[in-house]
Chain A
Amino acid sequence: MDVRPSRPPADDWAVLDPQGIDRLIGALGRRGYRTLGPVVRDGAITLAEIAGVADLPAGWRDAQDPGRYRLERTESPAFFAWAVGPHSAKAQVLPPRDRVWRASAGAGGVEIAEAGVDAPPTALVGIRPCDVAGLGVLDRVLGAAGAADPAYLRRRAQTFVVVAECGSPAATCFCTSMGTGPDARSGFDLALTELVDGGGHRFLSRSATGAGAALLRAVGGASATTIDRRSRDGVLGDAAARIRRRLDRDGLPALLERNLEHPRWDEVADRCLACGNCTMVCPTCFCTSVEDTTDLTGASQRERRWASCYEVGHSYIHGGPVRPSTRARYRQWLTHKLGTWHDQFGESGCVGCGRCVTWCPVGIDLCEEVDAIRRADGATAARPAPGGS
């Protein structure tokens, strides 16, 4: 595995101090962006509105394990000494609930009014490379030519991304397996790498878009030195080396496809709550359900909401659900995320953020599930009616 961070040309770099980040956040606000960034709330690093660096989680880091997340104090002045919080960028481009249209009885029959898309210009400050990769995956699902979702495209076009490259992975992280981090490669306007060393607390910054370059110029900053860039290489190299978790991707879609009757599916179904948390926290799980309702005035509306393949109704077709058992639903989720997503969209649906591992109430670990299947490749469960559950 190559742990060397990607290294763009040197002339794009600038160095901002913490006050520079404060100016950056202020400049985004003045440009009309609703600016969201990492904020400590309810015992976690959440994505919330920020007005300046005072809102950032300085002195906090996270400890994550399967089914467990805790914030801890650190002596470091770093703003980004944590890995990832519970909130990915998904809710900003695919809201949990969204109105599609309203209809009412008019003189000429039913009148349908398409809902306006509430899409304020939004800046995401300090999201991680894995989450930027997650936006890319969503782009290829919801923004695909010929099948694009207009509301998604509107919100996505209004999104300005300031990625914070990751120097502090958690035990649940495996971006190095998925090729999505800890360095940022594409899909952002501005990239920051936080450096805290003998050279001070500073942020090596580079732009990838015209809007990013204009903002960086407006904020101002010192030019980057070779030492700064080497320092970044060190931070990102260390981070990559500290990521011990692996998802073995060797022939993974085929492995899953030939193991649909593996006994591990029964075993994991015995631990799985079918609560849907993994799908909700996943930055790429995009399923929605459409709900039509009326009110007492006779007006009606169609809304879509986040849905989960763990809901019984998710696979409901005429006569009943296709996947009534937890076994069938867990298998659907994992084989789609890591297998058939390739057939549909030409890549994996997983970006290695580890949220499904951390935020599973019972700590089910998809890497471990894949390993278990791989260890006994070809095993089949004794069952009376194969494929029937």
Chain B
Amino acid sequence: MIPGGGWRPSVAVWKFASCDGCQLSLLDLEDELLALAGAVRVAHFTELSRADEGGPYDVSLVEGSITTPEDADRIGRVREASRVLVTIGACATAGGIQALRNFAVAGAYAPVVYAHPEYIASLATSTPIAAHVTVDVELHGCPVDRRQLLEVITALIAGRPPVVPGHSVCQECKARGTVCVLVAAGVPCLGPVTRAGCGALCPAVGRGCYGCFGPAESARPSPLTNRFIRLGVSRPDLQRLYRTFNAAAPAFRSEHLRHDPPD
């Protein structure tokens, strides 16, 4: 792997249970797209082209979670065909919004959503890719941050570790000089327990962090929840705060289960 040495890794993009938003972040790299197209060989990327070069692949970017028996098999084949496997986004790294099923009775949602639920064959849970195969790099977010996506691809091309910090969103707020919405306005904000990467987008416009990047590297949400309670956040709302795109990420899961209303 010598940068500039003419090595153009082949890249495949795979979709599992997901909305495509993360893989479309690649195409959102408008300013860098030509350079990127020159630096890698796109071997499989159905949002870009129907052409399929076939494996093995140097780098696989995997979007989505595992929700069907077929996908549980398919991810194994993707892993076998990939030298480096990078999961991108909340679905692939934590199970995504669809992991809400993990906290409901299996099959309860299908009749509400589908006219013929008998055609639906899905697993009882939505699980992250790392629960099924070895993952080399995880990129969090709903969706991923395109600058972080570019950083990971660039790092892989250069053969260096990607710079993807695991600290809190608060550090990004402070670096950009944003006034803390929790301290200065009493807005419930998940920033202190959420992984950085978005550049602290929401607090910069006066909104609390939604936690779309999932738990920070050493997140301990319970003291923050206690603060929210003192701010007057209701128990159902506390649960909703942690029960979104990363509801099945361990630190968030244990926190919203703590506030599960008794049956």
Contacts and interface: CB of A to CB of B under 8 A. Distances in A.
B49 to A, nearest CB: 20
Interface string A263-294: 00000001111111100110000000001111
A87 B177 contact: yes
A277 B180 contact: yes
B223 interface: yes
A126 to B, nearest CB: 17
Interface string A38-57: 00011110100000000000
A291 to B, nearest CB: 5
B56 interface: no
Nearest to B169: A275
Interface stretch (B70-78, B109-117, B155-163): B155-163
A44 B96 CA distance: 36
Contacts of B182: 361
Interface residues of A, number: 50
A277 B170 contact: yes
Contacts of A261: none
A311 B184 CA distance: 24
Interface stretch (A66-74, A133-141, A149-157, A370-378): A66-74
Given A96-B174, A273-B192, A312-B217, A294 B167 contact: no
B35 A297 contact: yes
A280 B174 contact: yes
A326 interface: yes
Contact of A274 (B184, B185, B218): B218
Contact of A42 (B3, B163, B170, B206): B206
Q: Name the residue among A96, A273, A297 with the largest chain B CB count within 10 angstroms.
A: A273
Nearest to A45: B179
Interface in B180-201: 180, 182-186, 189, 191-193
Classify the secondary structure of B's interface with A.
helix
Contacts of A70: 184
A305 B165 CA distance: 11
B178 A311 contact: no
Contacts of A273: 168, 192-193, 219-220, 223-224
B158 A294 contact: yes
Contacts of A348: none
Contact of A306 (B39, B174, B220, B227): B174
A157 to B, nearest CB: 23
A190 B12 CA distance: 62
Q: Name the residue among A297, A311, A358, A361 with the largest chain B CB count within 10 angstroms.
A: A361
B234 interface: no
B168 A96 contact: no
B171 interface: yes
B154 interface: yes
B175 interface: yes
B32 A43 contact: no
A312 B218 contact: yes
Contact of B183 (A67, A105, A297): A67
A212 interface: no
A67 B227 contact: yes
B184 A43 contact: yes
Contact of A361 (B4, B35, B170, B178): B170
A324 B220 CA distance: 13
A77 to B, nearest CB: 24
Interface string B204-228: 0010000000001111100110110
Given A44-B179, A70-B184, A298 B4 contact: yes
Interface in B99-133: none
B151 A293 contact: yes
B176 interface: yes
A188 interface: no
A147 interface: no
A295 interface: yes
Nearest to B167: A311
A296 interface: yes
A148 interface: no
Q: Name the residue among A91, A295, A360 with the largest chain B CB count within 10 angstroms.
A: A295
Contacts of A306: 171, 174-175
A295 B154 CA distance: 6
A386 to B, nearest CB: 21
Contacts of A293: 151, 154-155, 163
Contacts of B36: 296
A233 B153 CA distance: 62
A276 B32 CA distance: 33
A43 B227 contact: no
A275 B191 contact: yes
Contact of A296 (B35, B189, B218, B223): B35
19 contacts: A41-B179, A42-B206, A43-B184, A67-B183, A67-B227, A68-B186, A87-B177, A271-B223, A272-B220, A274-B218, A275-B168, A275-B191, A280-B175, A291-B163, A294-B160, A296-B32, A308-B167, A308-B171, A361-B180
Given A96-B174, A294-B154, A362-B227, 13 more contacts: A96-B176, A271-B223, A275-B191, A275-B216, A276-B167, A276-B170, A293-B163, A294-B158, A296-B35, A296-B39, A296-B157, A305-B175, A361-B183
